[in-house]
Amino acid sequence: MTQLRFRDALREAMIEEMDRDERVFLMGEEVGHYQGAYKVSEGMLAKFGERRVIDTPIAEAGFAGVGIGAAVVGLRPIIEFMTWNFSAVAFDQILNNAAKMRQMSGGQLECPIVFRGPNASARQVGSQHSHAMEHFYAHVPGLKVVAPAFPDDAKGLLKSAIRDDNPVLVMESETLYGLKGDVPEGDVLVPLGKARIARPGTDVTIAAYSRMTHVALEAAALLEREGTSVEVVDLRSLRPLDEDTLVASVERTHRLVVVHEGWPYGGVGAEVVDRVQRLAFDALEAPILRVSTLDVPMPYSANLELACIPQPARVAATVRRVIGDR
Amino acid sequence: MRGTLDVALPMPTAPPLASASPGSRVDHLAALYRQMLLIRRVEEESARAYAEGKVGGFLHLYIGQEAVAVGAIASLRPDDYVITTYRDHGIALAKGMSARSLLAELFGKVTGCSKGLGGSMHMFDKEHHMLGGYGIVGGHIPLAAGVAFASKYRSDDKVTLCFFGEGAASIGGFHEGLGLAALWKLPIVFICENNEYAMGTPLSRSMSVEDVSLKALGYGMDRDRFFADDVLEVEHRIGEAVQRAREHGTPTLVEVRTYRFRGHSMSDPAKYRTPAELEEHKKRDPLARAREGLAQAGVDGARFAEIENGVEAEVADARKFAAESPEPGLEVLAATTYSGPFAY
C-alpha cells in the first residue's frame, strides 16, 4: 500500500498500462506539454514522448473520432476530455460510432477505447461547466460507465477500463483529484460492474458514486450521532450496475436513498430505484427516495450552487424521511 | 489546380499504367469495367428488391458514380483501408465484399456482412479492410483520420481512403477530421464525391464556394479536382494522392466530380433537377465510357458476353442467396452489442 492522491492514482494506472501495452496511448487537450489541465498526466510526455502522449487542438469531435478510428484497427486509446462537459460536442462520436461499432459491423469490429476526465460540478463554474454527463452515457447500450470515489478504485477501474474490449467512460471529479488514499502497488485491477460497501450499516442504505459517496459518508456520520446506522454502497460502476450488492444491502437495511449529482428526471438514480423496487420489493419498508442536483441549470452564486448540489444535510434529511417513525 | 501550395510535393508525371503492355492495360480496364458493371447491376437489383418490399429502410444507390469507387480503390493495396458514408454499396463491392454478402445484408439476413444488423448504410467487411458505411453525414471523417493515425503510430505504411459527399463539407466533422489529418500528417486521402446534390440541395445553395477542394487550402493540405468520367483517370489521380500518403505521410483532399443517376434515396423523386439535366449527365456515363474504351481497344463481342454473363450470373446467385438465407435470431443482439458479458 502507498498513499496516493486521486490524480496520481489515475496517472499510475495509465503509466502502468502504457508500459505493459504498446498499443495504449493518451490523447487530449493539454495532456502533454501543459502537463494536464488538472495535472493528471503530469510527467507522462517526458516518459513516453510525443508519439504516445498527444496534445490535440480544441476539437473534441475530431479527436474523439480519431480515437475511435484508431481503436477499430487495433490500438487502445485513452482520450482525455478536459472536462466531460466538453464531450457534448463529441456526443455523436461516442453515441453513433463508439457505442455502435460492434453492432453495426455485425460483431466484426471492436472499439476498445477509454474516454476519461472530470465530471459533474467543480466550484462555481456555472451552468455550462457543471454537467453530470454520466446519466446521458449510461443510457446507451454498447458503452460502459464507471465513476470511482477513492484513489484505489480510480487506479483499479481505469486499468480495467483500458484492458476492456468495449468503450469505457471514466467519470472523475475535479473536487476529488487531491483526495489521498491507500492504493495497492502494482497490477491490481478493480472489476467493472462491482459496487463496494464504503461503510457498513444496518438501518438504511445510501447508494452513491464519485464525489457523492463522500457526501453520503458525511451524512452517515451525522446520522450516526442520532443513532441511525447507515450503510453506504459506493456503486463505482454505473453500467454495468451491481444489482446483487444493492439488493443484498437493501435486504439487510430495508430502506434505500440514492444520491447523485445531475438532474432528477430519469438518470442513474431512477434506474437504481427501478431495479431495487423490482428485485427487492418485499424487502422494502419505505419508498426509495433520490437526492439529486436541483432541476435547474447550475447557478454561479456560491450559496445557490450549494443549495443545488446534494449536501450532507439534505441527504440526512432525506434519510430521516425514509426512516420515519420506525 | 495541383501544386498550388508551398507544401505541395512533386507530382508523379506518368500514369501508373503507361509502362504496362497494351494487352495488360486492356485486361486491367476490362477488370475495372467488370467491377463497375457488377456495382451497376447489384444496385439495379437492389432497387428492384426494394420495390418488391424485400429491402427496408433507406436505400441510397451508387448508380452513375461507379468510376469513383472502382478507380480509387484500384489504386490501393488490398491491406489499405476504406471507409465511407451511407452510399456505400459500390465502395464495399469495389473493396472486395461479395455481392452475396451485400445483398443478404440488404435483405436483413444473418448471412449479410453485418448479420443483417446494419442494412444498406452499414456495409462492413473486416477481412477486406472495408471499415464501414456510416449514417451520420461527416461523422466518419474524424474516425477515418484515426485509422490513418493508427497506421502512422505503427509505421505500417497503409493508406486510408475516406469517401464522402459534397454535402459533408459543411459539417464540423469534415473540418475537424481534415484539420487533424493535416496537423499530424496522416496517410489518408479524403475523397469528396461531388454528385452535385446534398439530398435535394445543389452545391450553389449550400456552399459559399463552387470548388470544394478549396477547403484544403485552409489546412495547408494538397488538393486535386477532376471529373470521374474515365475510371483510369480516377485511378491515376487518386493514385497520386495515395502515393503521397504512403511515401510522404501527407493527406490530400480530392474532389471527384460525379453524378448520381437516381434520387438521393429510393423515396426521392428528384424533382429538384430537370430530366434534360439527367439525360445530359447520362451521356457521360462512366460505365458506358469504359465499355467504349474496351471496344476501341479491340475487345470483341465474345469477351463482352463473357464479362456481362459472368456478372449476371453473380448477381442472380447473390439475389438467390439473399432470398434463401435465414433471418437473424434474437441471440445475435446481445453478443453484437458488447464484447464479453452484456453490460446491464
CB pairs under 8 A between A and B: 158
Residue B257 scores a pLDDT above 60: yes
- Per-residue pLDDT tens for B151-167? 999 999 999 999 999 99
Q: Tell me, what's the pLDDT at B266?
A: 86
**Interchain CB contact of B251 with A (< 8 Å):** no
Domain(s) of CATH 3.40.50.920: residues in chain A: 196-323
**Contact criterion met (CB < 8 Å) for B126 and A141:** no
Predicted confidence band at B3 (pLDDT cuts at 50, 70, 90)? very low
- Residue A325 has what pLDDT? 62
> What residues in A contact B251, CB-CB < 8 Å?
none
Q: Say how far apart CA B10 and CA B13 lie, in whole Å.
A: 9
Its pTM surpasses 0.90: yes
* Cα separation, B18 vs B15, whole angstroms: 5
Cβ <8 Å between B145 and A166? no
| CATH assignment, A2-183 | 3.40.50.970
Give Cβ neighbours of residue A171 (< 8 Å, ≥ 6 apart).
Answer: A84, A116, A119, A120, A133, A134, A145, A146, A147, A210, A238
- Which residue from B134, B147, B338 is facing A73, i.e. has the nearest CB? B147
Which of B250, B67, B175, B90 lies closest to A61 in space, CA to CA?
B175
CA–CA dist A180, A196 (Å, integer): 18
Read off φ and ψ for residue B188, nearest 5 degrees: -145, 150
Nearest chain A residue to B179, by CA? A62
Comparing CA positions, the residue from A205, A188, A120 lying closest to residue A154 is A188
CB contact under 8 A, B143 and A56: no
- Determine the distance in angstroms separating the CA of A226 from the nearest CA of chain B, rounded to an integer: 37
- State yes or no: pLDDT of B1 exceeds 90: no
Residue B18 scores a pLDDT above 80: no
The predicted model gives B84-90 an average pLDDT of 97
Ordered per-residue pLDDT tens for chain A, 326 residues: 899 999 999 999 999 999 999 999 999 999 999 999 999 999 999 999 999 999 999 999 999 999 999 999 999 999 999 999 999 999 999 999 999 999 999 999 999 999 999 999 999 999 999 999 999 999 999 999 999 999 999 999 999 999 999 999 999 999 999 999 999 988 999 999 999 999 999 999 999 999 999 999 999 999 999 999 999 999 999 999 999 999 999 999 999 999 999 999 999 999 999 999 999 999 999 999 999 999 999 999 999 999 999 999 999 999 999 998 65
Record: fold of A196-323 = Rossmann fold (3.40.50)
Decide if B218 touches A, using CB distance below 8 A.
no
B135 contacts in chain A (CB < 8 Å)? 96
| Higher per-residue pLDDT: B134 or B6 | B134
Query: Residue A194's closest chain B neighbor by CA?
Result: B343
- Subunit contact B132:A109, Cβ cutoff 8 A: yes
Half-sphere exposure of A98 (CA within 13 A, CB side): 33
- In A, which residues are within 8 Å of B141 by CB distance? 65
A80, β-bridge pairs: A28, A116
For A15, the 3-state DSSP assignment is helix
Q: In B, residues 99-128, which contact A (CB 8 Å cutoff)?
A: 112-118, 122, 124-126
Q: Cβ–Cβ contacts within 10 Å for residue A182, how many?
A: 11
Give the helix/strand (H/E) hosting A65. helix A60-72
Residues on chain A touching B118 (C-beta within 8 angstroms): 103-106
Those of residues 167-196 in B touching chain A at CB distance below 8 A are: 172-173, 176-177, 179-180, 183
Residue B127: DSSP 8-state:
T
Cell numbers given for B186: 496522416
Q: Among B152, B251, B131, B130, which residue's Cα sits nearest to residue B192?
A: B251
User: Which pLDDT value is given to residue B13?
Assistant: 44
Q: Could you tell me what percent of chain B has a pLDDT over 70? A: 94
Q: Look at the domain B22-325 and name its fold.
A: Rossmann fold (3.40.50)
- B179 vs A75: CB contact, 8 Å cut-off? no
The domain spans of chain B are 22-325
Shortest CB distance from B337 goes to which of A61, A63, A103?
Answer: A103
pLDDT per residue over B172-198, tens digit each?
A: 999 999 999 999 999 999 999 999 999
Res B15 pLDDT > 50: no
Which residues of A does the annotation mark as catalytic?
60, 129
Q: Is B339's CB within 8 Å of A166's CB?
A: yes
- Whether the per-residue pLDDT at B10 is higher than 70: the answer is no
Q: What is the location of CATH 3.40.50.970 in chain A?
A: 2-183
Q: Name the residue facing B146 among A66, A109, A110 (closest C-beta).
A: A66
Closest CA to A22 of A51, A62, A43, A46: A51
The answer to whether the Cβ–Cβ distance between A59 and B143 falls below 8 Å is no
Alpha carbon separation from B35 to A53, B85, B93, B99, B221 (Å, rounded): 43, 20, 8, 11, 31
What per-residue confidence (pLDDT) applies to A252?
Answer: 98
Whole-angstrom CA distances from B21 to B16, B26, B113, B251 are 12, 9, 37, 31
B150 vs A: CB within 8 A: yes
